[in-house]
Amino acid sequence: MIFQVMTTLYREMSPEQLEIAYSPSSAIGGDYAPFVQRYVDESAWARESLRCLCDVRYGDENEQVFDLFYANGSSTKKRPLHLFIHGGYWQELSQKESATMAKPLVERGVTFVAVNYTLAPDADIEQMVDECHRCLVYLVQNSNELGIDPDNISISGHSAGAQLLMHMLAQYQDEPLMQGVGLVVLISGIYDLTPICHTSINEPLFLDQDRARRLSPQFAESTFSQSVLIAIAEKDTGEFRRQAKEYHEKLIEAGTPSRLVDCGGLNHFNIILEMEKGAFPIIQSIVEFSIVEFSNGSD
Do the bridges between strand 65-69 and strand 111-115 make them parallel or antiparallel, or are there none, so unpaired? antiparallel
**Model confidence at 4, in pLDDT bands (50, 70, 90)?**
very low
217 touches 163 (CB < 8 A): yes
Residue 298: pLDDT above 90?
no
* Residue 79, helix vs strand vs coil: strand
Q: What is the 3-state secondary structure (H, E, C) of 250-297?
A: HHHHCCCCEEEEEECCCCCCHHHCCCCCCCCHHHHHHHHHHHHHHHHC
Mean pLDDT within 215-228: 94
Arithmetic mean of pLDDT, 230-257 = 97
Q: In the chain, how long is the greatest CA-to-CA distance?
A: 81
Q: How far apart are CA 271 and CA 235, in angstroms?
A: 10
Percent of the chain residues past pLDDT 90, beyond the cut:
87
Across the chain, mean pLDDT equals 93
What is the pLDDT, as a whole number, of residue 278? Answer: 54
What per-residue confidence (pLDDT) applies to 76? 67
In this model, does residue 294 exceed pLDDT 80? no
Residue 279 has pLDDT above 70, yes or no: no
How crowded is the C-beta side of 3, counted as CA atoms within 13 Å? 3
pLDDT at 292: 65
10 pLDDT band, cuts 50/70/90, is confident
Which pLDDT does position 254 carry in this prediction?
95
Residue among 263, 100, 104 nearest 187 (CA): 263
Per-residue pLDDT, 297: 52
Q: Which helix (H) or strand (E) holds 249?
A: helix 238-253
Interval 267-290 mean pLDDT: 86
Please name the residues in contact with 96: beta carbons below 8 A apart, sequence gap of 6 or more.
40, 43, 44, 67, 116
Residue 77: the pLDDT is: 82
> Which is nearest to 157 in space by CA: 96, 222, 230?
230
Region 107-129 average pLDDT: 97
The pLDDT of residue 276 is 72
How many C-beta neighbours within 10 Å does residue 73 have?
13
- 52: exposed, middle or buried (Cβ count in 10 Å: 0-12, 13-18, 19+): buried
The ranges assigned to domains in the chain are 15-294
Share of the chain above pLDDT 70, in %: 93
Look at residue 5 and tell me whether its pLDDT is greater than 50. no
Question: Taking residues 204-208, what's their average pLDDT?
Answer: 97
Specify whether domain 15-294 bears CATH 3.40.50.1820. yes
Q: Can you tell me the mean pLDDT for 52-75?
A: 93
Per-residue pLDDT, averaged over 105-130, amounts to 97
- List, in sequence order, every residue forming a beta bridge with 81; answer none if it has no partner: 111, 153
Residue 117 backbone phi and psi in degrees, to 5? -145, 160
Q: Average pLDDT for residues 138-149, to the nearest whole number?
A: 97
Give the count of beta carbons closer than 10 Å to the beta carbon of residue 6.
10
List Cα–Cα distances, 148 to 46, 144, 145, in angstroms.
Answer: 19, 7, 8
Quickly state the pLDDT bin for 17 (edges 50, 70, 90). Answer: very high
User: Which stretches does DSSP call E strand in 5-146?
Assistant: 52-57, 65-69, 79-85, 111-115
Residue pLDDT, tens place only, 151-200 = 999 999 999 999 999 999 999 999 999 999 999 999 999 999 999 999 99
Active site residues: 159, 236, 268
